[in-house]
């Protein structure tokens, strides 16, 4: 199967670590021109150096805070100045803090909305004029909570499902421009975020982090956490020319953990 990603330009958000970094790496391996971004410039420099060492596609970075409108505009502008256009867009953002209804403040709600939903809307808005010129692909990263709410993660449960509604609606609006847009949701993927959540849950139960991991893995039919590379492979396929007819859909990469249909 030919993915035909060589020479394509991709903007991958929140890509200095975790899932975003894995996606950027896979796109570079396929020969794409990739713009990485996050708030942490030191990490971006390290990742840029690491990806350039692959000697495949091209990589550059822009330090940006996606809760800041001016930063988003600068990010898109710099991507176009560097590579000429934007053909592929991966929206991604760090997870919001854990909490229950009675512990979450208005400030927490506003911050999570801005980071986990409004940032996606704003970035798509800025990139849309370039995507409309030749068509393209958008992948919005969410969470397995779009199918099964996760206890203690009320903010994520709320705004990640908003991403699904956004994606489904835009699939119809963007179809005339040959822009395909999908949601990809990770389950338990071995990232710093999942390790952090395991530690929180372990502390609540008074058990070790290792015991918490074992309990979680026992809930996954494949019996293990996924790797960032496995998740990135799914996203890369959806961004590729091999995907020409799937749009508006939600895909869960979780080893079979979520049981809902």
| Residue 180 DSSP class | E
Q: Is residue 51 within 8 Å of residue 82, measured between CB atoms?
A: no
CA distances from residue 208 to 193, 198, 199, 200, 233 in whole angstroms, order as listed = 17, 9, 8, 10, 32
| Cβ-Cβ contacts under 8 Å for 139 (sequence gap 6 or more) | 89, 90, 91, 181, 182, 183, 184, 235, 238, 239
The encoded tokens of residue 205 equal 């139960």
Q: Where are the beta strands (DSSP E) in the chain?
A: 9-12, 33-38, 58-63, 88-91, 136-141, 179-186, 250-253
- Residue range(s) occupied by CATH 3.40.50.720 in the chain: 9-189+227-253
The encoded tokens of residue 203 equal 């502390």
Nearest to 238 by CA among 173, 171, 149: 171
pLDDT in tens, the chain (261 residues): 899 999 999 999 999 999 999 999 999 999 999 999 999 999 999 999 999 999 999 999 999 999 999 999 999 999 999 999 999 999 999 889 889 999 999 999 999 999 999 999 999 999 999 999 999 999 999 999 999 999 889 999 999 999 999 999 999 999 999 999 999 999 999 998 889 889 988 998 999 999 999 999 999 999 999 999 999 999 999 999 999 999 999 999 999 999 988
Calpha distance 102→223 (Å, rounded): 34
**Cβ neighbours, 10 Å, residue 175:** 13
Place of tokens 């991604």: 92
Does residue 74 sit in helix, strand or coil?
helix
Calpha distance 237→88 (Å, rounded): 12
DSSP per residue, 212-261: HHHHHHHTSTTSSPBPHHHHHHHHHHHHSTT-SS--S-EEEESTT-----
Is 9-189+227-253 in CATH node 3.40.630.30? no
**Whole-model pTM over 0.85:** yes
């Amino acid at each position: 199967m030919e993915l035909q990603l060589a020479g394509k330009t991709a903007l991958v958000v929140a890509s200095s670590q975790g899932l975003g970094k894995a996606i950027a790496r896979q796109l570079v391996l396929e020969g794409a021109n990739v713009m990485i971004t996050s708030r942490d410039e030191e990490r971006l420099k390290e990742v840029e150096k690491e990806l350039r060492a692959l000697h495949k596609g091209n990589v550059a970075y822009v330090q940006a805070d996606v809760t800041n409108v001016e930063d988003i505009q600068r990010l898109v502008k710099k991507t176009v100045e560097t590579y000429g256009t934007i053909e592929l867009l991966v929206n991604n953002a760090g997870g919001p803090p854990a909490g229950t209804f009675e512990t979450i403040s208005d400030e927490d709600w506003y911050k999570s909305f801005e980071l986990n939903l409004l940032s996606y809307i704003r970035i798509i808005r800025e990139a849309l004029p370039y995507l409309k010129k030749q068509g393209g692909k958008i992948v919005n990263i969410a969470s397995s909570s779009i199918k099964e709410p996760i206890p203690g993660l009320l903010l994520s449960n709320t705004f990640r499902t908003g991403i699904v509604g956004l994606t489904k609606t835009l699939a119809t609006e963007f179809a005339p421009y040959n822009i395909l847009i999908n949601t990809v949701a990770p389950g338990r993927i071995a990232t710093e975020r999942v390790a952090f959540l395991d530690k929180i849950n372990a502390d609540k139960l008074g058990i070790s982090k290792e015991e918490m991991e074992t309990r979680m893995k026992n809930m996954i039919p494949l019996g293990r956490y996924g790797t960032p590379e496995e998740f990135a492979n799914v996203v890369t396929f959806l961004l590729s020319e091999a995907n020409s007819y799937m749009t508006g859909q939600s895909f869960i990469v979780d080893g079979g953990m979520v049981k809902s249909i």
